[in-house]
């Protein structure tokens, strides 16, 4: 296990500051989704039963969006892998070594906030526990589009 891809790949080739600024739209989308989830789930958890249908609909819609986001991120990551990048699940969806610390931190905070809302409102909106998949999927989209991956190691066949 390596310390991270950014440590393996020559950082002189990449502008770390630019990497940290890229993908702002992905982060904004995640925060908007978190806000929408919180606005619909928290009142239901506090006893506003009139919003239960809306909260369930929003939670299921965000989950379905996250499935599409995961498929997109996986497809783009697979395409990068076929072009010679060494893409793994850990550095695609968990940004392990494929993203600068500020980007990893932003996605981690987004995930923790979403998880806190999901756990705090699970009794009132049980479908909300599916929503934390979205920040992880969005991190995968960021890594697939902007992440730094080393070249895939080439293996030579062993002589018989």
pLDDT of residue 2: 40
Q: Can you tell me whether residue 1 is helix, strand or coil?
A: coil
**Res. 149: pLDDT tops 90:** no
Q: Are 119 and 39 in contact (CB under 8 A)?
A: no
pLDDT of residue 6: 52
Cβ-defined contacts of 46-54 (< 8 Å, 24+) = 46/124, 47/124, 52/124, 52/125
Tens digit of each residue's pLDDT (9 = 90 or more) over 39-89: 999 999 999 999 999 999 999 999 999 999 999 999 999 999 889 888 998
DSSP 96-135: TTTS-HHHHHHHHHHHHHHHHHHHHHTTT-GGGGGTTHHH
pLDDT of residue 132: 96
Tens digit of each residue's pLDDT (9 = 90 or more) over 17-38: 777 678 899 999 999 999 999 9
**Res. 10: pLDDT tops 60:** no
Give the chain's mean pLDDT.
88
pLDDT of residue 14: 61
pLDDT of residue 143: 94
Spatial separation of the C-alpha atoms in residues 141 and 77, rounded to whole Å:
8
- Residues constituting the chain: 160
- Across the range 134-148, mean pLDDT stands at 95
**Res. 101: pLDDT tops 90:** no
Tens digit of each residue's pLDDT (9 = 90 or more) over 102-113: 899 999 999 999
* pTM for the predicted model, two decimal places: 0.84
Please tell me which residue, 153 or 100, carries the higher pLDDT value.
Answer: 100
**Res. 4: pLDDT tops 60:** no
Kindly indicate the confidence band of residue 16, based on its pLDDT and cuts at 50, 70 and 90. Answer: low
Each domain of the chain, given as residue ranges in start order, spans 15-146
């Amino acid at each position: 296990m390596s310390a991270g891809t950014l440590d393996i790949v020559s950082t002189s080739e990449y502008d770390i500051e630019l990497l940290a600024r890229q993908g702002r739209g992905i982060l904004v989308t995640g925060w908007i989704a978190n806000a929408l989830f919180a606005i619909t789930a928290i009142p239901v958890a506090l006893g506003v039963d009139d919003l239960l249908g809306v909260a369930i609909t929003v939670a299921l819609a965000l989950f379905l969006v996250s499935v599409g986001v995961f498929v997109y991120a996986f497809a783009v990551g697979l395409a990068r892998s076929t072009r010679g990048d060494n893409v793994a699940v850990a550095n695609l969806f968990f940004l392990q070594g494929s993203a600068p610390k500020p980007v990893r931190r932003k996605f981690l905070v987004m995930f923790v906030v979403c998880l806190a809302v999901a756990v705090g409102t699970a009794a009132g909106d049980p479908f909300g526990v599916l929503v934390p998949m979205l920040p992880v999927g969005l991190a995968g989209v960021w890594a697939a589009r902007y992440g730094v991956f080393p070249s895939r190691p080439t293996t030579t066949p062993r002589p018989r």
